[in-house]
Amino acid sequence: MYKSIVKQQIPFLDLRGQHQQIKAQVFEAFDQVYENTAFSGGYFVEKFENKFAEFCHTEFAIGVNNGTSALQLAIIALGIGPGDEVIVPANTFIATAWGVSYAGATPVFVDCTSDTWQIDPSKIEEKITSRTKAIIGVHLYGQPFNLEAIDEICKNHNLFMIEDAAQAQGANYKNIPVGGFGEMACFSFYPGKNLGACGEAGGITTNNENYYNALKSLRNHGCVERYYHDEVGYNMRMGGLEAASLNVKLNYLPVWNQRRKEIAAEYRKGVVNPHIRIQAQPVWADSIYHLFVIVTENREDLMSYLNDHNIFPGMHYPVPCHLQKAYKNLGYKKGDCPNAEYLAEHCLSLPMYAELSDENVDYIIDVLNAYNHG
């Protein structure tokens, strides 16, 4: 018998609780945007940029329309383009590679480790060629990647390091917030992220004023002075309503991240089942648990068992980047990145959001511990 019986469905993510809690404040912030008709860029975006740079301990933050654009602009601002290669983990959300492709460069995929599931530094050097210009590390699932190891490879080979911090707003590496380690760090504020806008949004942090100025121009049609276009630019500005919602939500983020860490600690302590393995967390990594990923031998079996018990996990991600049809032309085959392929076939993401109740967490743990199909 389970200690607690939960009757309602427990999804992998439910945003309703969060938005009910802050609805009045967000609507008040929307009202101010409306009164000022500051719908694109402007005061509320600048306010968010200042707050977010402070939050990440960086000199600058630039708001853009989503995290994929953030990656594209970072690559372009570094002068990377056709003929160049960029090292990207095989185990990530596909947008990490899109930024490279959009700029006309080629992503080169590297396997993850078998326990942290993040880019394996020992497999990078064999992929570096005379065309390699940068490495994008991903703070995947909210956990910092091995920043010092990647930074050393970058220094030895004269490469740029970019952080894909789309899933990691507030994560720490050796007590320092992610976002300021690479040349630039790219964030997503997609609604489902730990810090998610009421709409689509993204951002880039950097300590380099030249990159900051380049990014500001690129996101705004390539101009500093209106109607004078110094380069071919893009329309990738952040909207005022999105920024206003982020200004409210950033105040809550530390508390929400802390709650996710508590839930993760419960999962780590409570789930004791030889059929289930949890992501390894090195001592230097302080994850904000955007996702809580597990692996199991027979995923379909565990998935249907959990569904029968009203628990509905996610799957991040069922196909690794190097085997996606979109990159068929690059000629990768099964077996090229074995750890990422294993993960894609065996991973599940447990329910994870700050509003998940203790009762539901206990229930999920009990149900997982009672699983014995294998």
Ligand X SMILES: Cc1ncc(COP(=O)(O)O)c(C=O)c1O
Q: Return the range that interacts with ligand X (CB under 6 A); candidates 163-171, 172-180, 211-219, 266-274.
A: 163-171
The CA-CA-CA angle for residues 284, 289, 292, to 5°, reads 115
Q: Which of residues 186-245 bind ligand X (CB under 6 A)?
A: 188, 190, 202
| Residue 195 bridge partners (DSSP) | none
- What tokens does 343 get? 């993960």
- CA 187 – CA 189 distance, rounded (Å): 7
* Residue from 10, 56, 61, 138 in contact with ligand X (CB under 6 A): 138
Beta-carbon contacts of 152 under 8 Å, excluding residues fewer than 6 positions away, are: none
User: Residue with the closest Cβ to ligand X?
Assistant: 67
* Residue from 33, 95, 302, 337 in contact with ligand X (CB under 6 A): 95
* Residue from 58, 66, 101, 360 in contact with ligand X (CB under 6 A): 66
Beta-carbon contacts of 277 under 8 Å, excluding residues fewer than 6 positions away, are: 294, 295, 296
H/E element, 110: strand 106-110
Q: Return the range that interacts with ligand X (CB under 6 A); candidates 4-12, 28-36, 62-70, 80-88.
A: 62-70
* Residue from 93, 292, 353, 363 in contact with ligand X (CB under 6 A): 93
Q: Closer CB to ligand X, residue 78 or residue 95?
A: 95
| 137 is a contact residue toward ligand X (CB under 6 A) | no
Q: Closer CB to ligand X, residue 67 or residue 180?
A: 67
Q: Closer CB to ligand X, residue 238 or residue 276?
A: 238
Q: Return the range that interacts with ligand X (CB under 6 A); candidates 53-61, 161-169, 217-225, 344-352.
A: 161-169
Residue 182, classed as helix, strand or coil, is: coil
Q: Closer CB to ligand X, residue 67 or residue 144?
A: 67
226: burial class by Cβ within 10 Å (0-12, 13-18, 19+)?
A: exposed
41 contacts 237 by C-beta, under 8 angstroms: yes
Residues that bind ligand X (CB under 6 A): 66-68, 92-93, 95-96, 138, 164, 166-167, 188, 190, 202
